[in-house]
Amino acid sequence: FPCAAHGRWRGAPRGPPPLVRPGAQPFTPADRSIHQPGAHREQRGMARSKARVYTCCLLLVIMMIAIIVIITVTTRRTCADDTFSKAAVAADTRKCSEIGREMLQQGGSAVDGAIAALLCTGIMNPQSAGIGGGSIFTVMDRSGQVKIINSRETAPSQVDPDLLKSCPLNLAGSKWIGVPGEIRGYELAHKFYGKLPWATLFQPTIKLAREGFPIPPVQGLFIPFINNSLTPRKLYSDETGTLLKTGDVIKFEKLADTLELIANKGADVFYTGRVAKDLVRDVQQEGGNLTLDDLASYKATVTDAWVVPVGEYQMYIPPPPSGGPLLSLVLNIMKEYQMRSAPLSVEEKIRFYHRYVEAFKFANGLKRHIQDPRFKSEKMAKEIIAESFAKHIGTLISSDRTHNNPYYNLTAYLDSLGTTHVSVLAEDGSAVAVTSTINHMFGSKVYSPSTGIFLNNELSDFCGRVDNIFPGERPPSSMAPAVLKSKWETLVIGASGGSMITTGLASALIHHLWFGKSLKEAIDTPVVYVDSENKVKFEPQFDEGVIKALRAMGHKNETARKFYNVVNAVEKKDGCICAVSDDRKLGKAADLLVYSVVTHRVHSRLQLDKTSDMAQFEAP
């Protein structure tokens, strides 16, 4: 383009300016137009030249913008097909993940999504969790601040003084019921972090409970557990008295009524209102000692998270009486061996798993120090998370043999099952890891027919104590909902499975963060579990060569028939979000950007009814 030439606009007059006589006035533009007949043409030429210059500059700007856009698009990392770019929810079931996602789609917060998903889990997997239990939230807001909301059950004011003498013979029944904290936990979390109206979080589950749905395979698997419990048997029986099974339609109409009351009137109706009165009456008719004062005096708590370095991450965990400190201990012990890749040879695997099992045996011996800090000192628990303590434990691990239980200061306690976990990562960067439980399968197996609530048996977590239980005390727990944060990445993770929670989390974190496996591969890795008696149990797919070698080193081991460690996690890395719901519980995660669930198929490790229809399970 002929924008400019040698500092002179094209079309400008050439030659020297007209002469001006001394003392005469210089020509004005009007004079020039009179004395120079071509002046109008020159002015039009100058205008055209300026227009060309402006056009040229505009084109240059457009070209520069286009180049920047092309470079940005071609160099930007694209997310894989099984990852997302906005937000995700990972719960135990596909339906509950989707309900959590619906809250995010409506502009809700990560906490809104988590609460809605937990309410759903209370009917999709009522054997594991529900509003008759308690939970622990680890919440990271959009600024990166992390808080813990603890709404675990507490001991009622009238605890049977001989209760712990019943361990472990009979852990069902009303005497094991702790004061439920679930709804107070939801209330507190929503107060600080919620965006949507309280009632909105309840509506999807109320609708599902009223209309009914086919019993999912996992719930169906555990229905026989309530065979001898008359009250819940009525819920799970058809008109002929036959127990329902996987695929049969079930409705939770009484629970829907209760949830509607809570949605419309708030949490107080559960703790001081109509629901409280109905619940206490039903429990006392079963011989329990829960009182209206116990419910009215219950309070959820907010505390700072404990922070532990894990490689380039900061891991935020709940303090005692949660299992966070013991998870930290195992990771710190294994970190001392400086493994940067997965063991490949048989010898490497044997060495790794021997050390791993020994770390858990020492962790089992330290469980007695994980107690409610309102009643016991946190001093020893804080020592447990210190790297120096892990180094000391490492010096006690023999490279070629194991030891008898007194070497680890093991105190008898009970293994537990149950629980559920939800991980949520919202578009604004806020995150929630929340674990909820009624403890054992169907909790105490006490069902409140007036409210539709299954009550927990959380007091059994005190088994192994040598001193008394204090009224209002929270029992120790393996629950360890965690948020890990590095400069560029966020990992929201937690697990269910009772006592298996710690081994599920430790295995997933080690294989993902240190050994470089994808999040799904790490969660799918077969695990080894050290139980309350330091017996070593292996998931069915575990390496047989390693099992034999560990047995030869003195470990008392066996292959477990079923494993219930279930890890649900959401990770944001390089701008892409990966969400994994453990297929051990037929879980599926849901994302926000693409309105469909994760596309990978699952292959359950549970023994399911062969006549059950997977499509029926996925349909609700």
pLDDT band at 618 (very low <50, low <70, confident <90, very high): very low
To the question of whether residue 31 is assigned a binding role by annotation, the answer is: no
Residue where the block lists tokens 């097909």: 81
Q: How far apart are CA 326 and CA 38, in angstroms?
A: 95
The pTM score is 0.82
What residue ranges do the domains of the chain occupy? 1-74, 98-306+410-464+478-618
CA R_g for the chain: 33
Contact 447, 166 (CB under 8 A): no
Close Cβ partners of 28 (under 8 Å, ≥ 6 residues apart): none
Cα dist. 59→1, 53, 65, 66, 394 in Å?
11, 10, 10, 11, 68
Flag whether pLDDT at 361 surpasses 60.
Answer: yes
The verdict on whether residue 543 carries a ligand-binding annotation is no
| Segment 227-247 mean pLDDT | 87
> Is the model's pLDDT at 145 over the cut of 90?
yes
* Residue 301, annotated as binding a ligand: no
Strands of 38-188, DSSP E: 88-90, 134-140, 146-150
User: Is 477 assigned a ligand-binding role in the annotation?
Assistant: yes
115 is in an annotated binding site: no
pLDDT score of 620: 28
Residue 495 contacts residue 435 (beta carbons within 8 Å):
yes
The hierarchical CATH code for the domain 98-306+410-464+478-618 is 3.60.20.40
- The answer to whether 150 is annotated as binding is no
pLDDT, tens only, 57-112: 777 778 777 776 555 444 445 566 555 568 999 998 899 999 999 999 999 999 99
The span from the CA of 251 to the CA of 243, in Å, is 14
| Model pLDDT, residue 166 | 81
Query: What's the confidence (pLDDT) of residue 48?
Result: 63
Rounded Cα–Cα distance for residues 580 and 524 (Å): 10
pLDDT digits (tens, 9 = 90+) for 42-63: 555 565 666 676 777 777 778 7
- Tell me how far the alpha carbon of residue 15 is from its chain's centroid: 82
Active site residue 55: no
Residue 68's pLDDT is 64
| pLDDT for the residue 13 | 45
Catalytic hit among 93, 154, 419, 525: 419
